[in-house]
Amino acid sequence: MAEPVVIKSDEKKKTNWSVLLGAAFIMATSAIGPGFLTQTSVFTATYRADFAFAILASVLIDIGAQMNVWRVITMSRMRGQDIANKVFPGLGYFVAFLIVLGGLAFNIGNIAGTGMALNVLFGISPQTGAIISCVVALGIFASKEAGAAMDQIAKVLGGLMIALTTYVMFISNPPVGEAVVKSVFPSDYGKLLLPMVTLVGGTVGGYITFAGGHRLLDAGIVGTENLSEVNKSSIFGITVTAIMRVVLFLAVLGVVSGGAQLAASNPPASAFQHAAGQMGYKFFGIVLWSAAITSVVGAAYTSVSFLRSFSKTIDTYNSYVIMAFIVFSTIVFITVGQPVKVLILAGSLNGLILPVTLGSMLLAARNPKIVGDYKHPMWLFILGVAIVILESWAGVMSLEGMKKLWM
């Protein structure tokens, strides 16, 4: 059980703020992976300016889901799987299984993304690029200060992704005014429901929303004395994800509004290339590698954190288990491939996982034996229940997609 870190001095505030930012960026960059880039590009090409409404609505839902989860984790001073086991004996093992399975599926796709990115940048094979990226990720967790290294890399690469995509957005000259209007008054609300809940699953589903919460727990930022810091970090993480989603949406919207057709084989790369030529294509390579490598780190870290409570060996050798997780993901990609199908499967799994994980957090929030004297706001609880219902429907819908993909 983590002990709270109480801020008592300017130095302590600086240290804590670095961790808070790191937790926010770990969550955000875990969400911003190859699937995020492809999904946003495809939806933008399909729904055009109307997609702005789905983005805005999903951001509000994301904040509600993440604040519920992060508050319960930090106030209870327990990891997600331990909380679930307290809610219902055995539920934590089931949640951990779902998280690790989804995290592994995503990580295979993320590793594939790093390989494809280095192929764009240097012309090497995706397999060779994946191996190089695997070595980079292993170096992060081989460090004695793995947590601090993870925080710093997430912040730097997260900022780089946003900066390069923002440049492409300005070059593509999107119809910003139309997008602003459509964010509130789309032409058809009904057709945007499924894209909206899909975005929610891809942003706070599966392991993603636990990434930052578990990072805060490991850093000792827990208890009611740190509640305001937890809230800030939670909202900031969603904000970073939203900024990246918006600038990518506008960049692609500018391209398709100008009459260009995105290549089905790689929609986001096509958008960058249409907007800024060969330089834009290279920029996409940098953005894709940054998105993929940070997602590799976030997925591995969070997935293994769900196993630490169940084994003293895993807890003791946490960094080595994370490294083994990354190596295994790389081997699967090199030998099996099919990253697109794997990413779609992972997205579907997230649609199924979020109702279970968020639902268990909401039950824990009302249990004094788990959260102690902490009082969970009723409005946040009700919002969480609404999200569980909405994402449960999305999960059922995703099952049909899984059947079509794999049968």
The answer on pLDDT for 118 being more than 90 is yes
**pLDDT for 405:** 46
Q: What are the distances in angstroms from CA 242 to CA 51, 280, 351?
A: 13, 22, 19
Q: Rounded distance, CA 48 to CA 172, Å?
A: 14
**Banded pLDDT at 391 (limits 50, 70, 90):** confident
Predicted TM-score (pTM) above 0.75: yes
**pLDDT for 309:** 85
On average, the pLDDT of the chain sits at 87
**Domains in the chain, please, with CATH?**
24-406 (1.20.1740.10)
Strand, helix or coil for residue 152:
helix
Lowest mean pLDDT of 39-43, 119-123, 198-202, 338-342, name the range. Answer: 338-342
Amino acid type, 386: A
The answer on pLDDT for 407 being more than 60 is no
Q: Choose among 67, 77, 84: nearest CA to 24.
A: 67
pLDDT in tens, 267-284: 999 999 999 999 999 999
pLDDT in tens, 213-263: 999 998 899 999 999 999 999 999 999 999 999 999 999 999 999 999 998
**pLDDT for 392:** 84
**pLDDT for 193:** 83
**Banded pLDDT at 6 (limits 50, 70, 90):** very low
**pLDDT for 29:** 86
Task: State the average pLDDT over residues 116-144.
Answer: 92
**pLDDT for 369:** 94
The answer on pLDDT for 160 being more than 80 is yes
Helix, strand and coil percent figures for the chain, each rounded to 5: 85, 0, 15
